Structure 1
Amino acid sequence: MDEIAVLIPCYNESKTITKVVSDWKKALPEAVIYVYDNNSSDQTAILARQAGAVVRQEYLQGKGNVIRRMFREIDAKAYLMVDGDDTYPAEFGREMVDRVLHRHADMVVGDRLSSTYFQENKRPFHNLGNSLVRKTINKLFKNDIKDIMTGYRAFSYNFVKTFPVLSKGFEIETEMSIHAVDKNMQVENVVIEYRDRPEGSESKLNTYSDGLKVLRTIARLYRNYKPLGFFSGFAFLLTVISTIFLIPVVITYARTGLVPNFPTLIVCGFVYMAAIISLFAGMLLSSIVQQDRQDFEIRLIACQYRYEQILRQDTSEQEP
């Protein structure tokens, strides 16, 4: 088991990868630097290996797929994930890792938004999107994570080995944040500096398509993690719509004793039934989610037991 594993997912980062690996070797000399190349068409893998990183390949395209592979293959006491584009300074890594090793944090978030992000980032819609996503998730999940979509994070062994990676692309950071909040894991924020990509280095993000993916991910995860809130909100919406169309029918019946709009009355009745079904579906799924949380705690205990076994094995092998 590594003491510290620095995880760097990369796709066509030949302009910056040598500097990134060198910076991390200086900042955390005891760490093992892993670069996972995701089908780069440039010299990213070669340059990373020359700089001293352990280079591995992930052939399924997408950052989520790379992180899934990393989390499966690497055992470490603390993990630090960082992008290969040289936007995150390495000098903040020590504090983030120490919070995992000494404060038992499960996830430490490198908070760009409280420092230089809005000044350094030259894409205004990215600024708007980050703020919108942060406010939405903190409101829906009642938390105070300062930067939902940062790629600079530290993790504990238990987080890495119990986190189910479902997203394939850049929405993976949003999924990590929601998972940690929902499972009541210890999340801490460290304010970091952010610098924009150096000249000649191109971002792989698409403002609009990736933004829509993130919003869809939030909706999907809210439905999965908070089904009672999701489906009761849907039931409330159906009830309001049905009531709006039903009121004129009721008023006409009260005045004349007649129901001239039977089709409207029938449709309203079916909409009310759909609202009731939606409410009960939310209640049923909420019970299932609660059971899953209990099962997760059992899986967490088993993961901790495995972690302690690995530590004991490493200690016995190191003894003369």
Structure 2
Amino acid sequence: MKTAVLIPCYNEELTIKKVILDFKKALPKADIYVYDNNSTDNSYEIAKDTGAIVKREYRQGKGNVVRSMFRDIDADCYILVDGDDTYPAEASKEIEELILSKKADMVIGDRLSSTYFEENKRRFHNSGNKLVRKLINTIFNSDISDIMTGMRGFSYEFVKSFPISSKEFEIETEMTIFALNHNFLIKELPIEYRDRMDGSESKLNTFSDGYKVISLLFGLFRDIRPLFFFSLVTLVLLIIAGLYFFPILIDFYRTGFVEKVPTLITVGVVAIVAVIIFFTGVVLHVIRKQHDENFEHHLNLIAQNKKR
């Protein structure tokens, strides 16, 4: 059984050596990969001198790095962790056991149930984590505690079937939704989170990255739950049409005349558009079901190739 530790790295010269050494100690038999993402400091050289397998990813963004890692590396267990030394390497042993024993396809290192809110000093990050968690759990009827953690474990089947579309930090949200949508086995493991050391700066931009995460969330909601999504749009349009139509109807019963003909025509158009949108959702729902059946077949092929 082979375990690979995957460390995306961008300007982490202050911490990358410690992260590598900590994981070498926690998982002495694992291969440790560092993919440098155009660092302008000495991260690449330090990682190489510390004994990691170091490669370069020239397309900027964490999503691009993870995509290359998942394509390049074959293993039975994958452990993905940030290079900023905010996650405990000691937790990786339990993550590895859960993956290799087939008890999970994705293990989430749950920061939010332990020390995250005390350690993290960026107030809007805390609020953003809570908002995204609430939205995903509501939309997908789930109970995930930490949506955007940077420490996770994955099975071979998950990694080789995950079609990554994110380019940057929204990758964590995409992973969670993909696992929920395709019924992968998810386990959460509470871990101790520690804030960045002095001099080490976060690459996250609270507002721009938060906007990307929310946009991704609603885009995936539309694509994954099309009937529900387009039914909601239909309902909103019908409510708007009803608000304008019923006063016209009341006036007609009272006077026998329709005084607001242009408004009535507009209401009729909105109602027709609402019906078209609803049936669009029905068609996309059928296509989505066919896609899910094809995906299950794809998973079976991945499992067979792994056995060979």
**TM over 0.5, shorter chain:** yes
Partner of 2:202: 203
- Partner secondary structure for residue 87 of structure 1: coil
After superposition, what is the alpha-carbon deviation per residue over 1:244-292, rounded to whole angstroms, capped at 9, x for unaligned? 0111111111111101100000000000011101110111101111111
Counterpart Cα distance in 2 of 1:282 and 1:188: 32
Alignment of 1:268 onto 2:267: yes
1:30 aligns with 29
Alignment partner of 1:36: what SS? strand
Give runs of aligned pairs for residues 135-284 of structure 1, distance below 5 A: 135-284=134-283
Is the 8 Å Cα contact of residues 110 and 153 (structure 1) preserved in structure 2? yes
What is the CA distance between 1:174 and its match in structure 2? 0.2
Which residue in 2 is equivalent to 1:71? 70
Asked if 1:18 is matched to 2:17, the reply is yes
Counterparts of 1:293 and 1:145 in 2: how far apart (Å)?
Answer: 22
**3-state SS of 1:76 partner:** coil
CA contact (8 A) 1:104 1:156 kept: no
2:271 matches 1:303: no
Q: Distance in 2 between matches of 1:20 and 1:274?
A: 55
User: How far apart, CA to CA, are the structure 2 residues paired with 1:142 and 1:296?
Assistant: 21
Equivalent-residue separation in structure 2 for 1:237 and 1:15 (angstroms): 52
Identity of aligned pairs, percent? Answer: 55
SS in 1 for 2:101: helix
> 1:37–1:55: 8 Å Cα contact kept in structure 2?
yes
For 1:244 and 1:48, how far apart are their aligned partners in 2? 63
Which amino acid is the alignment partner of residue 15 of structure 1? L
C-alpha distance in 2 between matches for 1:179 and 1:242: 36
1:14-163 maps to which residues of 2 (within 5 A)? 14-163=13-162
Counterpart code for 1:67? V
Amino acid in the other structure paired with 2:17: T
Q: Secondary structure at the residue paired with 2:199?
A: coil
Please state how far the C-alpha of 1:97 moved relative to its aligned partner: 1.1
* Pairwise CA distance, 1:135: 1.1
- The amino acid of 1:190's aligned partner reads L
Match of 1:285 in 2: 284
- Secondary structure of the 1:30 match is coil
Amino acid at match of 2:233: F
In structure 2, stretches of 5+ residues that fail to align are none
Q: 2:225, 2:217 → 1: CA distance?
A: 11
* Number of residue pairs aligned between Structure 1 and Structure 2: 308
Determine the structure 2 residue equivalent to 1:313. none
Following superposition, the deviation at residue 103 of structure 1 comes to 3.2
Secondary structure in structure 1 of the residue aligned to 2:76: strand
In structure 2, distance between residues paired with 1:78 and 1:143: 25
TM-score by length of 2: 0.99
The code of the aligned residue for 1:30 comes to: K
Q: Once the two structures are superposed, what CA deviation does each residue of 1:151-200 show, in whole Å capped at 9, x if it has no partner?
A: 10000000000000001000000000000000001000000000000000
What is the CA distance between 1:128 and its match in structure 2? 0.7
Question: 1:143: how far off?
Answer: 1.1
SS at match of 1:103: coil
1:231-253 residue CA offsets vs partner (Å, 9 max, x unmatched): 00000000000100111111111
- Tell me how far 1:104 sits from its aligned partner: 3.7
CA distance in 2, matches of 1:157, 1:265: 58
How many angstroms apart in 2 are the aligned matches of 1:197 and 1:27?
Answer: 21
1:145 CA drift (Å) = 1.5
Q: Distance in 2 between matches of 1:308 and 1:147?
A: 33
Q: CA RMSD in A?
A: 0.7
* TM-score relative to the length of structure 1: 0.95
